[in-house]
Chains A and B, each alone.
Chain A
Amino acid sequence: MISPVDFVQDLLNPDLAFLPKALLMAVLSSVVCGVVGTHVVLRGMAFIGDAVAHAVFPGLAIAFVLQGSLVLGGAIAGITTALLVALFAQNRRLREDSVIGVFFVAAFALGIVIISTAPGYAGSLQDFLFGSIVGIPDENVLTAVVVGLVLMAVLFAFHKELVAVSLDRETARALGLPVLRLDLLLYVVVASAIVISVQTIGNVLVLALLVTPAAAARLLTDRLGPMMLLGPTIGGGSALVGLYLSWSLDLPVGGTIVLVATAVFLLAWLFAPRHGVLTRALTP
């Protein structure tokens, strides 16, 4: 185990240029997912997040096989699936969770079949699924920063409409809000947040970035504003600590970050000021 000081020195070491890049990507993804995740958690759409996360996979696989842009491939696949789920979910005959179940497993299966056609796929498969901190191209970092900023701007611009729909769809519709379009917008935002996070955290674990920090934040506050600040703070902090632990103990980065975030969630669950299990048990 190396000390935090050594970690900072490694970050500044030009031979380890990938490390600060990985840190930036991990923290950026976690912060963006922390904000987006607030909507995901409050709307109870974690399963949709899972679906989109899996659906990104065939896009990544196709981009990998064709040597194209991973971000673009993932975005197209993720957004397509998000839109399909949103549209199919309007049909009341089939429950939304079944629709999601159909699409996301199919998408994931498609991704596995596609990537198996590429030579030497086993190594890249592991990177896709569980994340990797090496080999992130500079242009991906730039894309992630730009996309992240755009997502924050979009969520800020449509905040009051998204909240009105989350609170009460029926009344939002009666007030004249375009509910379906706002749903689609949110789904596209979720898909984009996942795409920029997949490379560092991995496809299987990215859902945790979306749900765990926001869920922990919900336990800590009853106000939306503080929750939207706490979620990304917990996410970003977990990414920093997780990357440090992963680097110094030689553990897989995605898994370590997620476990740190989970530890924060458990602490919040036990000790949150008003809703914590232990807090409630101890207060008379």
Chain B
Amino acid sequence: MTATVAGEASTTARPGATAVLEVRDLAVVLGGRPVLDDVRLQVAEGELVGLVGPNGAGKTTLLRAVLGLVPSSGRIAVAGQDVRPGRGRSRSAPVTRSIGYVPQRHEFAWDFPVTVEEAVLTGRVTRIGWLRGARTEDYRAVRRALDRVEMTHLRRRPVGELSGGQRQRVLVARALALNPRILLLDEPFTGLDVPTQEHLTELFRELADEERAVVMTNHDLVGAVHACDRLCLLNRTVVASGTPAELAGPEPWMRAFGVSAGSPLLTAISQVALGRSADTTDRGVRS
């Protein structure tokens, strides 16, 4: 599998916008097995980027590398500051605070007896600092984050009583409590029904529009093509990257997912991609 990138222009963020996340020559080896190799990715303010790829393609690993949770080589910079992973040291506070991480929902102990508000406050645990209690500014940040995801009315509810979509919003609010420059969302739509997915997509869109970068891994390819500004097709390396319109053709998808040209999935993807872009003339990729 060679790492061909679909044109340099499409791997970089749109011109004029500040790059919030910059990944270059990233390689991750886990248990002697190369998981990621030669990954290059730039995400700018205001962008909603979808990270798609087959199972085991390294989507979650890429997020974890950016968070410094797995050892990696190469360069990762968040808001212009280097993340130095793999040394077993905690990263500098400013880097930690400019990333908001939203893990998969099953990572969170939903049976724990805390309220929505208390769960969101844990997002500020390192900001508050050791041997200190939360201050007014912390409660204010929690309130803002809850307002932002429209969960304020449920703030006193135990987290165990929330629906899947509400739980996802709590995790987003917890990440927003630090007012980060970039949000990393791991499979936010898994196990949610379509209307909930649509509401969340709207929320992520708005969050990106507020001078934030939003990166999410996504299993649902058609949904990702529909929702994201830019897609990054990952399979151990970046197979292709670009706007949905640029990726309307079947070729990059066939390479990333190993599907045949006749796959109905490709038809669906190209239809959604072309439908999103009014300027793009029909390229006739329907097979």
Contacts and interface: CB of A to CB of B under 8 A. Distances in A.
Contacts of A163: 112, 114, 122
A161 B125 contact: yes
A42 B99 contact: no
B183 to A, nearest CB: 12
A116 to B, nearest CB: 43
Contacts of A177: 125-126
B99 A167 contact: no
Contact of A175 (B108, B119, B123): B123
Contacts of B174: 171
A97 interface: no
Interface stretch (B40-48, B88-96, B201-209): B88-96
Contacts of B130: 158, 161
Interface residues of B, number: 32
B101 interface: yes
Contacts of B115: 223
Contacts of A42: 109, 112-113
Interface in B125-153: 125-126, 128, 130-131, 133-134
B149 to A, nearest CB: 16
Nearest to A92: B31
B113 A164 contact: no
Interface string A176-187: 111000000000
B108 A222 contact: no
Contacts of B107: 168-171
A31 interface: no
Nearest to B157: A222
Given A157-B131, A168-B107, A175 B125 contact: yes
Contacts of A223: 113-115, 158
Q: Which of B69, B107, B122: most chain A Cβ within 10 A?
A: B122
Interface string A57-91: 00000000000000000000000000000000000
A166 B111 CA distance: 11
Interface of B: 67-69, 90-91, 93, 96, 99, 101, 103, 107-109, 112-115, 118-119, 122-123, 125-126, 128, 130-131, 133-134, 158, 160-161, 174
Q: List the 4 closest pairs (A to B, CB-CB), nearest first.
A: A222-B158, A176-B90, A164-B122, A174-B67
